[in-house]
Amino acid sequence: MLSGCVTSGTSVPPIIDLPSPGAAGDLFRKVPKPPLQRGDDARAKLAEAFAVIDKANGRIVGSCRFQDAQRRHYNPKAQPFDCDRPPVD
């Protein structure tokens, strides 16, 4: 018998209650980009593109806060993430 196979049975790993995948909502889903066709108004399409970027950035910040909350749930002493810093250009 190998010594690595022998255990005392006194240490049992803790059970971790993970959140359901749906707890994050739409945070981890793709943001659909607006379709672009020849002859479209450039200013209107640019406004739509900026709206999509704002929505995507909101999801990025929201997912950061969600993951930070989950991490701090398991380790209350953990340093918080800096989710509100401006994105890198």
Mean of per-residue pLDDT scores for the chain: 78
pLDDT (tens digit per residue) in 50-65: 999 999 888 888 888 8
Min mean pLDDT across 8-17, 40-49, 61-70 is at 8-17
Residue boundaries of the structural domains of the chain: 42-84
Amino acid at 8: S
So what's the pLDDT on residue 31? 83
So what's the pLDDT on residue 39? 92
The answer, yes or no, to whether residue 43 has pLDDT greater than 70, is: yes
